[in-house]
Copies of this chain bind each other. A is one copy, B any other.
Amino acid sequence: MKADTLRGHLDALLLAVLDGRKLHGYAIIEALQLRSDGALDLPTGTVYPALRRLERAGWLASEWDVVSGRKRRTYRLTRSGEQALAAERTEWREFTAVIGGVLGA
């Protein structure tokens, strides 16, 4: 996939992958790979700052836990994060309708 196409959709992806479950950063990257059949291979330098940003925005909450000696910061959606996800999904539908409408014509 071409670079930059992701612009503006990263938040939606991160929120979506945390919908209904708690994951830590590394697992989020793996989950996105899995769900996209390998198409999405986000670098850590993209994901970790984004997660911090979403937490600052109040859409995610995190807590540290230790699994077999390794520290993990586990993220989950907050209530307003769920609302944000719903909004992102709506925006995604609108976006694809608009662009797809122009491209498909």
Contact = CB atoms under 8 A, between A and B. Distances in A.
Interface of A: 1-9, 12-13, 16-17, 32, 35-37, 39-40, 88-89, 91-92, 94-96, 98-103, 105
A96 B94 contact: no
Contacts of A6: 8
B5 A95 contact: yes
Nearest to A39: B98
A98 B36 contact: yes
Given A35-B105, A105-B35, A99 B13 contact: yes
A102 B33 CA distance: 10
Contact of A92 (B8, B32, B37, B103): B103
Nearest to A89: B103
Nearest to A17: B102
A80 B1 CA distance: 20
